[in-house]
Every structure is written in structure tokens, then in C-alpha cells.
A and B are shown apart, each in its own frame.
Chain A
Amino acid sequence: MNSIFQFKDTNNLVGKFFILGVVSTALSYLGYLNDIEHFYHSYLVSFVFWMTLSLGCMFFVLMHFAMNATWSVGMRRIAETSMSLIPYVCLFFIPLYFGMDILYEWTHHKMKQPYLSKDFFLARTLFYFVCWIFISRTLYYHSTRFSSVESFQTLRKWSGIGTFLYALTISFAAFDWLMTLDPHWYSTMFGVYIFSGSFLVSIAFITLVLIYLRNQGILYNEVKMTHFNDLARIMFGFTVFWAYIAGFQYYIIWYGNLPEEIEWYLARSHGTWMNLSLLLVFGHFVIPFLILIFDKTKKILPILASLAVLILFMHWVDLYWNVLPNLHEDTIVFNWLDITIFLAHGGFFMSLFWKRLSDYPMVPINESRFEDSIKGKY
């Protein structure tokens, strides 16, 4: 009975992505020997990319249960599967422990004590990881064993607590990992800024995976065009939300013009960094906005797929733009490490993703609202 919802890896995606991961890791190691400073900066970009992607998926699941949603029941397992990989993404952090002295100026100059000290930084990071692993494991465990009203009540309870913890931990993780790269700079909006990109990229990821499955003829009748339309609406909403947060962070700091704040934007508004800033404005906001604002384009899958790829790429550019000016102040220095580390993390992540997806049926078949979701009763 359940077998039609069982994911079968006919294209051997698990193997292919694993090989991609291994090859890219080997290449990245060569790059590590070559340019250790650039290695750690690229590594941070890639680590935060995959972390925010899985955290965005976790937020999707948290909201699904907290809001008692029906429309997203059919696609919930995709988000849950990438959420369940958070423990592995946490392991990706380990090399950064050895690169802390290179990445963060405050490790060898005492400033903003006692917050910016190595031990406290690692303790906080560990706390975020414990929170995220706990939330994701709890939700995944109860959701895959969904059987009765009681499991739903348990999930609702944990999603309420989880949302609260999530909001605090993702904000402070953004402060710690990215904002302290320039220890003088601060922006109270930065946590929300990373969160908005995180949720947007997870929606793009879910859309892309669903379109891939649909092209394979999987979940064809479970995730219909109306569901893709709903995903496109969220994609549109969070494109605007990201632009709102990113824009107002800029306007306020520009107007305040305080030395320790404006420095961050000055570094990103001269030379080739300005081109990257403009790429962000157009690629992350203007182009998706102008395409998604129309109702008809939200119903064409090839357009949605291309926009999802654009958003995934732009989220990476966004993080690159956040991190790399810390190393190359004058101009963009592109290194092939930027790609290989991304592919190394991505290869392992996607390999685990497809493997994990075949562990349980791809849709929560026991859930009563599943029928309503298919029929569009929401």
C-alpha cells in the first residue's frame, strides 16, 4: 500500500552526489594547501549556505505545525528530510574551529569582552547546534510516526517551543558567525536579514526538488499546480521581505553615518564589490519581483524552476558578499575554492538528502488532512 509513495533512487542520485562530494573535497584540500585564508572564508560561506537552507526547511515544518496548515501536508516530507540533516551540517562546522584565528579578528585583539571570546563563542555555537538538533530530531521523529491526534498535539507543542528557540538561535548564530567578522560593525536587523534569506532559499529548494520529482512522475497527483502556485506566492512574499530587510538595514545605516557602522557598507560600495552589490539588488530582488508579481507566471513550472535556481545562486552571492570583503577589501578575488567547497558540502548534503528521503514514505499517509491537501480544501 505504501510502496507507491516510497522514493526509489532510479537515477542513483545518492551515489552521484556522493562522488561529487568526494571529488570536490579532494580539490578543496588542494586549495587549502594553496590559499588557507581564502579556504576558510569560502568554507564559512558554504557552511552558512547549507545551514541556512536546512534551517529554513526547519522553519517551514515549525510553521506547518504551529499554524495547523493543510496546504503543505503533501510537501512536508521534503522539508522534513532536509531538516533532519541538520546534525550532519553541524559536523561541517568542525574545520571552522581550526580557522577561527584566521577568520575572526577578535580572537587575537581583545574587544567587546566578554562576549567576543573564543570559549564563549564555541559554547554559544554548541548551544545553537544542540537546540537545532533537538528540535529537528523531535519533529522528525513524531512526524514520521504520525498516527493519531496525540501525535499532532505533541508536534504542535514542540513547534511552539521550537519557534521561540529558533528565532533566538538563528539571530544569534547570524550575529556570531557573520556579523563578528567585522567586530566593530553591528546591525540589530542582521538576524532577521539572514533569516529572510534562509526561508527564501528553503522555499526555492523545496520547489526545485518537487519539480524534479514531478518530472520523474513522482507525487504528480499529491502536489498539484495549486500547491506550486502557493509556493510561488511564498517565494514572492519572501523576496519582498528580504529586500525590505536588506534595504532598510542599508538606509538606516547610511543615514546614521556612524563610523563603525558605515564602514561595512563602504567596503561593499567601491570597486568590483559595488558590481556585486548591484547584482544582489537586481538578482535577489528586482528580477524575481518583476517576474513573480504576475499571477500567470506563478503557474508556469519552468519559470518557477529557473527562479528557484536564481534564488539559490543569489543566496550564495548574498553570503559571499557578506563574508569575503573581510578578506579582500579592495576587489573581488575569485578562487575556484569558492565553487569546490560549495560542491563538496552540497554533494554530501544532497547525497544524504536522497538517501534519507527513501527511509519513509514521501508523504504523511496516516495524516487525516492529507486528503484535504490533495483536494485543495484549505
Chain B
Amino acid sequence: MTPKNLYGMLAEFQTPKEILDAANAVRKEGYIDFDCHTPFPVHGLDDAMGLKRSIVGFIVGIGCVVGATAGLTLQWWSSTIAYPIIISGKPLFSWQAFMIITFVLMVLGGAFSALIGMFHLNRIPTFYHPLFNSEQFKKATDDKFFVSIEFKDPKFDIEDTRKFLEIIGGKNIEVIEE
């Protein structure tokens, strides 16, 4: 019988080496909705967890195109439609002169989309997370390494997952409620 508002299961590991092996094992077992929590960045953890390259680059690309288009359109509209004034004998739409603002707005669009895209992909800000209900999870910012497997994972089973985490060396296995 599973509790009604279950979030998932948490297991503690002692060293970076252990968490790398654990992440590999969890991925190979076929779990998808799991995460690793470490006090500092562990090299190779992304590969061990099977994480793909972040898509933030594509978000930045879109932001750059939007920024550049906006910059060029603004100058085209203001200098050919809104205020068609001839300046130093140049054509109304002189793209060479508009390139600097277009370029700068491209950079601005790219910078904003990088920041906002990164925040969104990292789910920032998140005001509540069930893992913070766990007392031992506070050590994730100190000296312990954790693997959490979520209830929504299709392979999640309260008995089997507990056994599996014990086999791969997890300590202090705890069921987390919402």
C-alpha cells in the first residue's frame, strides 16, 4: 500500500565516487525521474546520470534573432515611415548605419534569453520542494551525497526501489512525502 501523497525516496552516499557509481546504476536500472544532490559539482555526474546537453544555447539563438530583428525593424520604421528625414545625403534605409544598434540589440536579446532561459530550465524560483521535508537532506549542502528517485517514475515501487537502493550502497533510505 503506497501512501497517498508520496514524493519519492532518498538515499545517502558518502563520497563522490559512490554517487557516480550510484547514478550510473540508477540510470542502467531504467529509472528516468531521479536526481543527484551533491555539496559541490562532481565531474562526470552529467554523463553518469545520462543528462543531455542543455538546450539553453537554442534559447539564446532565438533571443539573438528576435533582438536583432527588433533592432533593425525599429530603425527601419522610425527612419523610413515615422520620420523620413534625409541625414547627410544617405538613403533612408541605410543598413550599414543600422548595424551597430542591430548588433547590440542582438547581444542584449541573447544575454536576456540566456539569463531567463537558464532560470526557467533550472525551475528558479521554486518556493517549495518536498525534499526539504527531510531532516537528513540538509547534509546535501555539507558533506553527504544523495540520490532521490521520484514516485512519478514508471519503474517506482516502494519495496523494489528500497531494495535496489540498498543493493547499490545507499544508507539512511527515507520515504519523502509531499
Contact = CB atoms under 8 A, between A and B. Distances in A.
A221 interface: no
Interface string B86-110: 0010100000110110000000000
B99 A257 contact: no
A255 B97 contact: yes
Interface string A230-267: 00000000000000000110110011010000000000
A255 B53 CA distance: 42
Contacts of A247: 99
B53 A295 contact: yes
What band does the interface of chain A fall in when counting residues whose beta carbon is under 8 Å from B?
under 10
A255 B96 CA distance: 7
Interface in A86-130: none
Contacts, number: 18
Contacts of A251: 96-97, 99-100
A257 B97 contact: no
B57 A295 contact: yes
A251 B57 CA distance: 29
Contacts of B57: 295
A357 B28 CA distance: 46
A251 B88 CA distance: 15
Contacts of B96: 250-251, 254-255
A257 B88 contact: yes
Interface in B53-89: 53, 57, 61, 88
B46 to A, nearest CB: 14
A127 B57 CA distance: 46
A106 to B, nearest CB: 29
Nearest to A296: B53
Contacts of A250: 96
A247 B88 CA distance: 21
Contacts of B90: 255, 257
Nearest to B57: A295
Nearest to B95: A251
A94 B53 CA distance: 53
Contacts of B100: 248, 251
B125 to A, nearest CB: 29
Contacts of B99: 247-248, 251
Contacts of A293: 61
B51 to A, nearest CB: 15
Nearest to A293: B61
A250 B53 CA distance: 37
Contacts of A257: 88, 90
Contacts of A248: 99-100
Which of B53, B57, B88, B99 has the most chain A CB atoms inside 10 A of its CB?
B99
B152 to A, nearest CB: 30
A293 B100 CA distance: 22
B54 to A, nearest CB: 10
A293 B53 CA distance: 15
Most chain B CB atoms below 10 A, which of A250, A251, A293: A251
A181 B154 CA distance: 73
B97 to A, nearest CB: 5
A254 B99 CA distance: 12
Nearest to B97: A255
B163 to A, nearest CB: 37
A255 B99 CA distance: 11
B119 to A, nearest CB: 22
A293 B61 CA distance: 10
Interface in A287-316: 293, 295
Contacts of B88: 257
Interface in B99-147: 99-100
5 contacts: A250-B96, A251-B97, A251-B99, A255-B97, A257-B88
Interface of A: 247-248, 250-251, 254-255, 257, 293, 295
Top 8 A-B pairs, shortest CB-CB distance = A254-B96, A251-B96, A251-B99, A255-B97, A295-B53, A255-B96, A251-B100, A247-B99
Given A251-B96, A255-B97, 16 more contacts: A247-B99, A248-B99, A248-B100, A250-B96, A251-B97, A251-B99, A251-B100, A254-B96, A254-B97, A255-B90, A255-B96, A257-B88, A257-B90, A293-B61, A295-B53, A295-B57
